[in-house]
Amino acid sequence: MRFTKMHGCGNDYIYVNGMEERIEPDKKPEIVRRMSDRHFGVGGDGVIFINPSDAADFEMEMWNADGTRGEMCGNGIRCVAKYVYDKGLTDQTKISIVSGGQIKYLELEAEGGRMLTARVNMGNPVLTPAEIPVVMPENAENAIDVEIEVDGKTYNMTCVSMGNPHAVIFVEDVSGLDLERTGPLFENHERFPRRVNTEFVKVLDRNHVEMRVWERGSGETLACGTGSCATAVACVLNGLTDNRVTVKLLGGELLIEWDREANVIYMTGPASTVFEGEYEI
């Protein structure tokens, strides 16, 4: 099976052209786990199949490294755009991609037949607890700056869905965090029925923040696009930043803009091809 290794700000996935490579659905979880293994496989935060779609120009079928399905990946969707544009599957710089039933619209910046960056309309942030989902009292309208106890310590979190669930935790320092211990405790906490992605955020000023992320099913990654969007929303809702925020990640930077009037989040960032190859399945 042919594949292309790509990354957006270090958030790396293995990309497969699902229009050419046919894999039986029941075999995908095991293939994804084997390919994602960084010692015995290709190595990546997961596998993304690029498929045809009746609802949009293309479909992004996202799998986490542990063989579970994911709904949305902000870094991944930019890489899908680069894949289809660079390989001539489209010559349009405005395209639509559907993932997990959600259609996203992208504007590509290209040069010499290659996509450099993409601005993605990430849609509306979801704050209703049941839709995120996060367990809250029945009358709670949102989960903004609420307490959660993890491993005997009380944190304040703001929960947002960008098509997948996020819990944003504001901290004074991100470099000293023991995410290998803390991340799984948040991910599998009883208050998150579908597990959760957790962002640990230090606010630098009104337009810049620093973030580390623990992604459900993948562990700590170098970047998370939807997590950056959720972080920007949480920052604004807690009065910590303006509506335009640069998120500094371990693998690079993403520009997040929240159009409050339209209630739409825009994410702008790069995508890169690493290498191509064949994997025996």
Catalytic residues: 73, 224
What is the token pair recorded at 63? 């799998």
Q: Rounded distance, CA 269 to CA 109, Å?
A: 10
Instruction: Confirm if 97 and 58 have CB atoms less than 8 A apart.
Output: yes
Q: Are 142 and 172 in contact (CB under 8 A)?
A: no
Phi, psi of 75, rounded to the nearest 5 degrees: -70, -35
In this structure, is the dihedral angle defined by the CA atoms of residues 135, 201, 220 and 43, taken in order, positive or negative?
positive
Q: Scanning the structure block, which residue is given the tokens 């542990």?
A: 66
State the virtual CA torsion across 59, 162, 205, 244 in degrees, nearest 10: 60
Cα 167 from Cα 157, distance rounded (Å): 6
Helix (H) or strand (E) holding 210, with range, is strand 208-215
Q: Dump the DSSP string for 68-121.
A: -B-S--HHHHHHHHHHHHHTTS---SEEEEEETTEEEEEEEEEETTEEEEEEEE
Residue written as tokens 């559907």? Answer: 98
Per DSSP, helices labelled H in the chain are: 28-36, 74-86, 179-187, 225-237
Contact 247, 231 (CB under 8 A): yes
